[in-house]
Structure 1
Amino acid sequence: MKNNSSNRVRLLIVFLLILVTALYTCETWARSMNTSNDFPTAVQQSVSGTVQDSEGIPIPGVHILVKGTKQGTFTDSNGHFSVTTSSNSILVFSYMGFTTQEVAINSRTSINVTLVESATELDAVTVNAGYYTVKERERTGSISKVSSKEIEIQPIISPLQTLEGRMPGVEIEQGSGVMGLAPKIRIRGTNSLRNDGNYPLYIIDGIPVSSEPLRSAGSLTNASGIDPLSTLNISNIESIEVLKDADATAIYGSRGANGVVLITTKKGNVKDGKTLLTINSYSGISEVANKVKLMNTPQYLAMRRKAFEVDGVTPTQTNAFDLLLWDQNRNTDWQEVLFGRTAFLTNINMAISGGNQHTSYLVGGSYKNQGSVFPGNFDYNKITANINLSHRSENSKFKLDFSSNYGVDDNTLFFGNTFVNSALITPPNAPNIFKEDGSLNWENWIYDNPLAALEQPQNIITENLFANLGVLFNVLPKVNLKLTMGYSKLDSEEQLRFYKEAYRPDLWNIIKLSMRNSFIKRQSWIVEPQIFYNNTIGKINLDGLVGATFQNNKNSYLALEGSGYADKSLLRNFKSADNIQILSDDNTQYRYAAVFGRLGINLNRKYFLNITGRRDGSSRFGPESRFSNFWAVGGAWIFIDQKIDNQKISPFSFGKLRASYGITGSDQIEDYGYLDAYEATSGSGGLYPTQLFNPNYSWEVNKKLEVAIQFSLFKDHINLDVSWFKNRSANQLVGFPLPAITGFTSVQANLPALVQNTGLELQWSSKNINRKDFSWQSSFNITLPENKLLKFDRIEQTSYANIYKVGEPLNISHRYKFNGINSETGFYSMIDVNGDGRLNNDDRIVIMDMGRKYFGGFSNTIRYKELSLQFLFEYVKQYNQSYIFKWSAPGRLGNKPLQFLNSWEEPGDSEDIQKVSLSSIASKAFNDAANSSKGIEDASFLRLKNVALSYQFPRKVIKKLGLEEVNLYLNAQNLITLTGYKGLDPQGGRGVVPPLKTITCGLQITL
């Protein structure tokens, strides 16, 4: 399978190179054909046309000037213009809030121009709201955005990683440094009691994509799963918008209950009719940013000997092989051996774009390779291809947009040991891991050789295709018809091979060679017809749309295991196995239909009202509960606008109040959950029930409220946006526990539970210095969230009583109350609350909130002439499991942190580490303390998340070389982390390799 994938990769690379070379050669040939020494004589002629904005709306009052003269005109109320001038003149189009554009006539009699909003003006920046776009100054909903400048040069795999620390209300946690794993994302908190009920909606160029991570059986990959976005080309992303409140998400109905992530890919760049070839390539290194300070061999052996002495136990080759069998002078840093390698990475992206005023295109591709910090030949490879085509007729009554993105990633890992655990607990004097002949050494290894995982290779190949077609017709002056059609297809194959060399040689005669394969297929299509209406009546502008959605998803999961292979070279073929077993075979279909609408009312560009509604139908509910209605109302009042009101005295240049309220829902449950389900009994041919019928459960309901205020001062040099939100999620969809006498553990139902998320979000940006040769811009955001279970009727009668507590957050941990070290035993002690002589759930009276207290980011961009420096700090206030309890009790087998050297010996000593001991009583006390209030510690951190230094070569220099743009840059990720937490990473566990520190150097050239 991997050979086939490699062939596909090679063919795709060859195809892209041929295509790009052909397009660029044709363009160069066309230019040469148009070059002539016989210049035509300029003649007077009349030129007419239309000027519109990027949304296709005509712009009245645009000034058209014949360059080099005082001759000119203005567009009328319909955006039309007409001017008489020479055939070789250049027209200059200018309008406040838009970038000035120069267009050569070249003997044409008709010219249509689209002006692009100036990104330096607050009221000209537009954001993608999904089914429509809205100007930043006029939006009534909560939408955050990052652009391509913040995305394209980052050495990341998932596009979600670029959001860390950049958006208020959006929690992104990478969690692991293993490539291709799904980051954790939460938008304005946790709404559902189910972990899989909190995924946001992903939209890629209008195509909804399942945000659920792909299942995986590997030790490194099964916790977080595989990221469904990992096959996207990071360099091809134009922007990422996150919709958060009801006003922004209600138009997506049930799919937007947990927020919406909109990913928009790049379109063709039309610049003076030229074809541009852009090549962006970088290389670099990655390594684990932090390691734990562990004992060396003398310290470790002293601790072990002391434990035997304290307990009065005689060391033997069975209970003390590290003291009696192993070399007492060997000192190995297993962190360096098992995850201390330097991983090299390379990325190359190539794109060719061009066209004219009617048609533009972009074709591109990329290749990425990243090595591993683990021993062995493990690496990650990704190849992508993308195409975008846009066309509009001369009268702009017909528009067509097509985009397609294809990606393949090939991830080679291992199944067994994560290496991280072994690196932290393996004694420093453990034997060599290899023999002289290069085979694994099992001699004197009482437990498994840590590199046995090398003989359990894991390979994951994922292919992903997205394609979208949008067609727009202007049927009436104020009415447009639009039809969008999308298709997505994901295929993923995971192969695990288990060689006998992964086990001790004395077991080889009973080990059966085996292979496990799993296949995931996701296929989806969507059709959305829409009607748009836009009209201005006096001082009122009406902007509306009505549409429908028809969506069909098919998902399948097949897992097979073959065993009894004669030789490991046959492991890739199931036909060579003695026995084949089907572990899982799931096939589901999800159908979704909806009608939706929006009406936007704009009064005098000061008062805005946005009304959205949607009626959803989902196949995941019974016939009586299949449909539901969702809606939202948002409003905004611009009470200060210096440009409109001509206020020249006040320092405030802009001020806006906005608020929204609405209802969204959720159907994020398994397909067919309401039906009876049966399975065949083994051998007898009978059936037995596995799932109860419940046609009455229905949608989760999420009510969202937001109030916000936005200020700009000193001509938009300082901008402040403060939002307060309250979301309440009711009718929780979970498995309701049943008594064992029923024969079932649970039934799918709506629980009478109410979850509330409130929070305060602050976003500030400023232009500290803005001069020709020097500029400095800053931005800062912070979120203070609060999550609470407001209501759960009869919770004490359910199994959830030991997990949740009314009035407390969902992400809590019930713990014993720590009572210091017992002066008589020297071991940790906890308070027995009810005095029954044992510790159980009744004694877990301490409730610890494991969620984030606050989080945010602080970024700066400093430019001096062609040199630019950007850096981003991410900060999080949180708690995590105390790192000392990620090891066994002091004195027991296995290496320990240096802190364990200061263990308790007598009353008055520090109560941080209990007495060293080998006894089971000591181990129980240590484990109980791990589940007490002492087992939690502050894991807050400030991380220098990203640093980018770039140099833009002067245009007058590169023009002489025939180039359009040259940019040399240096980028660093996860460079420094300041924290009091002494573990590997304040966000991860002991067995997880933390996010890697990565430094890259790259060059971007545009021809």
Structure 2
Amino acid sequence: MKNNYSRLVVIALITIIVFLYALTIKGYAAGLPAALQETVTGVVTDEEGMPLPGVTVTVKGSNRGTATNIDGEYKIAVNPQGVLVFSFMGFKAIQVPVEGQREINVRLVEDITALDEVQINAGYYNTTRRESTGNISRVTAEEIEMQPVVSPLQALQGRMAGVEVVTQSGVPGNAPTIRIRGQNSLRNSFDDNGNLPLYIIDGVPINSSAIEGGSSMISSGIDPLSTLNLWNIKSIEVLKDADATAIYGSRGANGVILITTKDGTFSQEEIQIEAQVYSGISKVSNKMELLNTKQYLEIRRAAFENDGVEPLATNAEDLVLWDQERFTNWQDRFFGGTSNITDLNLAASGGTASTFFRIGGSYHLEGSVFPGDWSYQKATGSLSFRHKGFNDRFAINFSSNYGIDNNNLFHGHNFVQDALFLPPNAPAIYNEDGSLNWEDNTWDNPFALLANESTAKVRNLITNLGISYRIGGGLVLKASAGYTSLLSNQLRKVTKNSFNPDIRQFQDHSSSHYTTERQSLIVEPQMVYNTKLGSGNLEGLLGVTFQQSESRNNAMVGTGFPSESLIGNLGAAEEVSVLNSKNIEYRYTAIFARLGYDWKEKYFINLTGRRDGSSRFGPDRRFANFGAIGGAWIFTEESLLNNDRDFLSFGKIRGSYGKTGSDQIPDYGYLDAYEATPGPGGLYPTQLTNPDYSWEENKKLEAAIELGFFQDRLNLGVSWYRNRSSNQLVGYPLPSTTGFSSIQANLGATVQNTGWEFELSTLNLQTTNFTWQTFFNLTFPENKLIKFPGIEETSYANIYRVGYPLNISLLYRYNGIDPESGLYSIEDVNKDGRLDYEDRVVIKNLGRKFYGGLANNLTFKNFSLNFLWEFVKQEAPEPYFPNPGSLGNQPVDVYGVSMGTGNTAEIQKFSQSFEAFLAHSDALDTNHFYVDASFLRLKNLSVQYNLPKKFRNQVGLNAATFFINGHNLFTVTDYKGLDPSSPGAVAIPSLRTITGGLQLNF
């Protein structure tokens, strides 16, 4: 299959290159003879006289066109008797006869309805803000291209209503968690996650699951989107409701993320060069306040005194053997470094009015805040071109994005945990001669782990070819073919020199090898029909999907390498064992259709349907039907409201209902499975067959209103949604007598997500030299398990409660400090003398109560200022620490608080006894240690300066922009942990990054 894929790609590329060459020559030769053309120049401005960049200038009745530069200037060759058409989003298009003029300056008038004419990508078709019947959020290149982040998902934080993006770690390449309108599935583990959205890049779906492996500091796997270049992204659309997602059927249950990369644009028949470079530094955004040596030793001595135990070298090395005056800030030593960042981007575009292209590349280098010479590198390349011919009947487009990801880091332990827990008077890391200090074997030197290396290399190719031909009468035939290929190789090297010298002789050099290979081929022929029908427009779409995917996962371990230099060479290992080896094929097919109709451009209806087939189900359960209906009414087009638009300039009510589904389960789950026994000639069963389970179902309902006031200077959108996910695909628990823990099956559980979303945009002030815009979004989500028959007979009874959210903690009830023992007291609800799940009667919701973002864009002459605040209301457990008084550091709040006995005591008495350890461990599972983890964060701050025209002309530049960008600059929160955006995680917090750079257009 791999050879067939490669052959297909090579043939397609050769064909496209030859075809492009021929069409380009033809395109340059097209048009009027040079003798009959004259060059017309001019400047396009708005009503205030400000230049408008990006205005499309075309010759009426021809393919010839250009666009204005940053100063509103244009140049175009045209017949002296021709007519120029000037069009720009947000303004009314005008036509100007040339009549022999050599200079034509134009002033465009703002169109009050233009804010609703923004083109948005709805997947298989395009629509506008005004006419959309579904809920689609969008961010553009201007909002994300200068952000110093690795994943496109990180650029969405705080920018969209209904979209939660949680960064699990500040380590680059670590996969963030994304939820679109909440958690729908009970399956939420790393290797079986039923809540992942569908990712589509330039029309090609890719596997959205994280890649397993990487360093021990990459807790949630490697992000499959990390190989994309943010600077090359044109827009990101997120489809949320049934009307927007149902056309993707089973793949749209958890929402759809559409990423569109940049392509060629019209030019003045010359190559345009774009370049961007920025450099900067990153540091961790927060560190915890911990005890200093004096405070720590006081508490430790008090613990031994309370226990009536004498500190000895065997039970208190920190009090007896280690330096009592030494102080080390372990957070500074472990993750207090500075990470240097360099990012380079270069692109060229050009062509003619019928054929144009864009080719680009980038390089990103990022250091590490950890000790040692570690780095993250990414190199990307992109190519796109489009051509139209045969009187604009025929069109062909091609895009290809290739990325190489290389993440080099240490492996073996969590340095963050060491930084928080190590006593402040722990021994020095190094001896005077530079060797590692083991302090007479009284501690395990954590820096020894820096000798262990983890290298993760990811190569990702995403390519798409599309052709279309307009037959006539509104009928267009289309076809697209997409191919993706991802290869991840990860190598972990563990040297025996990373172990304590006392046990080093009993250890071996070892290496772990992880390989993930994903390939996918998709072909989608389509037929599109548009026509006038009565007083409205009818749009129809019919298409078929054929997709085949193949994935391979292999994990091997080699041990017994004769020397450190040979670690990783499996041929030199004494023993090689296979931990895991899987080859999986997945086939998916579908037929989909859409029918849209608008009457008098004020009533809109949209019908979508899809029949899906998936190889992940048994032969009799492979097909299912999904669909949706959406409608909208622009009530300001009614005669009663159409006369006066000064106050209410736009008003639309829309709604949708539909059903999507999900097949996001492991492949071959409906079959019996066997594995070979360790001895020769035997098999043992590992999975029971169940050919009768079928698709999950997600029924979505939405109602919304969109309003524009004061000629669309203020726009408000309010949406209410309800999603119900049923027929849950989970592992159904089995009695131990069957020999299996579970079997894949459908449970009758139903998960409901409801919520309110608010989106507000305002044009606060606009003068000749100054513009101020504000964008605000706010989401109130509610997640609930509304039905689960027989939950008491399943293991889920210890995880979920009917009538409550999925993201809950079942806790004991805290009863304060026991006056006799001075230790934490927990209520034994059923009085059976023990603490178990029957006593967990306190239900704590850990989901977000609300979240959102506030962005402002201010422009003054050549300067612009943009900033984004992200805010979240939530509760979370306090950061975990050992019981106060035991070996290990503590938050500084522990020092000087009321403890022991009495009603005002905040913590139990200092003790290092086993009884204190148990009491502290049980108390961590009570409501006592849960706190407010809400936060307000300055997510992004950018200052830009555009070089004036007179200076640009001196160096031959079309545009030049200097910028400074700050990311995660500061956070306002009462949470005492490292990062409230991922509370409870023992991981590097989000990095505070400051970069400065330059963007040039030639």
Which residue does 2:73 correspond to in 1? none
Q: What is the CA–CA distance in structure 1 between the aligned matches of 2:291 and 2:400, rounded to whole Å?
A: 54
Partner of 2:501: 505
Task: Name the residue aligned to 1:437.
Answer: 433
Q: Contact 2:59/2:85 (CA < 8 Å) preserved in 1?
A: no
Contact 2:58 2:84 in 1 (8 A): no
1:453 matched to 2:449? The reply is yes
The equivalent residue for 1:590 is 586
Q: CA separation in 2, counterparts of 1:376 and 1:504?
A: 20
Match of 2:597 among 574, 586, 601: 601
Distance 1:384-1:118 versus aligned 2 partners, 3 A rule: farther
Matched, 1:194 2:191: no
Aligned length: 936
Q: Pairwise mapping of residues 332-481 of structure 1 onto structure 2 (< 5 A)?
A: 332-481=328-477
Q: Is residue 646–residue 711 contact of structure 2 (8 Å, CA) maintained in 1?
A: no
1:993 alignment partner in structure 2: 988
- Please state whether the residue corresponding to 1:293 is helix, strand or coil: coil
Paired residues of 2:899 and 2:905 also in contact (CA < 8 A) = no
Q: In the TM superposition, what are the counterparts of 1:771-782 in structure 2 within 5 Å?
A: 771-782=767-778
Q: Which residue of 1 aligns with 2:884?
A: 890
Matched to 1:318, the amino acid is T
Q: Which one of the candidate residues 592, 599, 610 is aligned to 1:614?
A: 610
Measured against aligned partners, the alpha-carbon deviations of 1:175-208 in whole angstroms (never above 9, x if no partner) come to 2100101110000111000010000000000000
Cα distance between partner residues in 1 of 2:950 and 2:81: 25
Q: Which residue of 1 aligns with 2:287?
A: 291
Q: How does 1:633-644 map to 2 (within 5 A)?
A: 633-641=629-637
2: distance between equivalents of 1:152 and 1:268? 17
> Is the partner of 1:625 in helix, strand or coil?
coil
CA displacement at 1:832 relative to structure 2: 1.0
**Is the Cα–Cα contact under 8 Å of residues 277 and 352 in structure 1 kept in the other structure?**
yes
| Alpha-carbon distance, 1:90 to partner | 6.9
Q: 1:183 aligns with which of 154, 176, 192?
A: 176
Instruction: Output the CA distance in 2 between the equivalents of 1:575 and 1:362.
Output: 45
- Paired residue secondary structure (1:235): helix
The answer to whether the 8 A contact 2:112-2:711 is kept is no
Task: Say whether 1:125 aligns with 2:122.
Answer: no
Q: Which deviates more from structure 2 when the two are superposed, residues 330-339 or residues 413-422?
A: 413-422
How far apart, CA to CA, are the structure 1 residues paired with 2:109 and 2:926? Answer: 59
Paired position in structure 1 for 2:217? 220
Post-superposition offset of 1:91: 2.4
CA contact (8 A) 1:62 1:95 kept: no
Task: Report the Cα distance in structure 2 between the residues aligned to 1:644 and 1:345, rounded to whole angstroms.
Answer: 58
Q: CA deviation at 1:301?
A: 1.0
Are positions 1:901 and 2:895 aligned together?
A: yes
Counterpart CA distance in 2 for 1:658 and 1:769 is 30
Distance 1:978 1:723 in 2: 29
Alignment-mate amino acid for residue 943 of structure 1: R
**Residues 105-157 of structure 1, C-alpha deviation per residue, up to 9 Å, x if partnerless?**
999xxxxxxx9999992232111000000011000000000000001100000
TM-score, normalised via structure 2 length? 0.90
Residue deviations 1:39-90 (CA, integer Å, cap 9, x gap): 958799xxxxxxxxxxxxxx999899x99xxxxxxxxxxxxxxxx9954867
1:695 matched to 2:691: yes
Displacement of 1:572 = 2.7
TM-score by length of 1: 0.90
Partner of 2:447: helix, strand, or coil?
Answer: helix
Would the aligned equivalents of 1:231 and 1:407 in 2 still touch at CA under 8 Å? yes
Tell me which of 934, 941, 946 is aligned to 2:935: 941
Residues 116, 251 of structure 1: alpha-carbon distance in 2 compared, 3 angstrom cutoff: farther
Q: Does the CA-based 8 Å contact 2:816-2:903 persist in structure 1? A: no
Q: Give the partner amino acid of 1:180.
A: G
Contact 1:284/1:998 (<8 A) preserved: yes
Q: Which one of the candidate residues 261, 265, 282 is aligned to 1:265?
A: 261
Residue in 2 aligned with 1:51?
Answer: none
Relative to 1, partners in 2 of residues 1:256 and 1:94: Cα closer, same or farther, differing over 3 Å? closer
Deviation at 1:446, TM superposition (A): 2.5
Q: Give 2:252's aligned amino acid.
A: G
Against the structure 1 CA distance between its residues 412 and 86, is the aligned structure 2 distance closer, same or farther, given a 3 Å change threshold? closer
Are 1:157 and 2:150 counterparts? yes
Indicate which of 194, 201, 204 corresponds to 2:201: 204
Equivalent position of 2:52 in the other structure: none
* Alpha-carbon displacement from aligned partner over 1:795-847 (angstroms, at most 9, x marks no partner): 10111111111111111110000111112211111111111222111110000
Instruction: Note the C-alpha offset of 1:753.
Output: 0.4
Q: Which secondary structure state, in structure 2, belongs to the residue aligned with residue 146 of structure 1?
A: strand
Q: 1:398 to 1:105 in 2, by over 3 A?
A: farther
2:515 counterpart residue number: 519
Residue pairs, 1:791-810, within 5 angstroms = 791-810=787-806
Alignment CA distance shift 1:95-1:733 (3 Å): closer
Which residues in structure 2 correspond to 1:598-677 (within 5 Å)?
598-641=594-637, 646-648=642-644, 651-677=647-673
- Contact 2:858/2:865 (<8 A) preserved: yes
- Gap regions ≥5 residues in structure 2: 1-16, 40-56, 66-76, 101-107
What's the counterpart of residue 917 of structure 1? Answer: 911
- Cα separation, 2, equivalents of 1:910 and 1:399: 77
Deviation at 1:991, TM superposition (A): 2.0
Provide closer, same or farther for how the CA distance between residues 880 and 252 of structure 1 changes in structure 2, counting only shifts above 3 A.
same
Matched, 1:722 2:718: yes
How many Å separate the matches in 2 of 1:99 and 1:930?
A: 63
The aligned residue for residue 960 of structure 1 is 954
331-340 or 986-995, larger mean C-alpha shift: 986-995
Deviation at 1:488, TM superposition (A): 0.2
Report the CA distance shift for 1:572/1:619 in structure 2 as closer, same or farther (over 3 A). same
The structural deviation recorded for 1:274 is 2.7
Measured in 2, the distance between the counterparts of 1:765 and 1:119 equals 15
Are the counterparts in 2 of residues 118 and 124 from structure 1 also a CA contact under 8 Å?
no
For 1:717 and 1:61, locate their aligned partners in 2 and report how far apart those are by CA, in whole Å: 32
Contact 1:458 1:496 in 2 (8 A): yes
| Structure 1 unaligned regions, length at least 5 | 1-18, 34-38, 45-58, 68-83, 108-114
Deviations 1:705-746 (A, max 9, x none): 000000000000000000000000000000000000011110
Between the aligned partners of 2:500 and 2:900, the Cα distance in structure 1 is 43
Superposition RMSD in Å:
2.8
Deviation at 1:452, TM superposition (A): 2.0
Conserved in 1, the CA contact under 8 Å of 2:238 and 2:256?
yes
Amino acid at match of 1:841: Y
Alpha-carbon distance between aligned partners in 1 of 2:996 and 2:367, rounded to the nearest angstrom: 16
Could you tell me which of 763, 766, 785 is aligned with 1:770? 766
Distance in 1, matches of 2:640 and 2:440, equals 83
Q: Structure 1 residue 687: deviation in Å?
A: 1.4
- Which residue identity lines up with residue 140 of structure 1 in the other structure? T
Alignment of 1:776-925 (within 5 A): 776-883=772-879, 886-905=880-899, 907-908=901-902, 910-925=904-919
CA shift for structure 1 position 372: 0.5
* Structure-2 residue corresponding to 1:930: 924
Matching of residues 40-79 of structure 1 within 5 Å: none
The amino acid of 2:208's aligned partner reads S
CA distance in 2, matches of 1:583, 1:850: 36
**Contact 2:59/2:82 (CA < 8 Å) preserved in 1?**
no
The answer to whether the Cα contact below 8 Å between 1:380 and 1:412 also exists between their aligned partners in 2 is: yes
Could you say which residue in structure 2 is the equivalent of 1:244? 240
Summarize the Cα distance change of 1:320–1:636 in structure 2 as closer, same or farther, 3 Å threshold: same
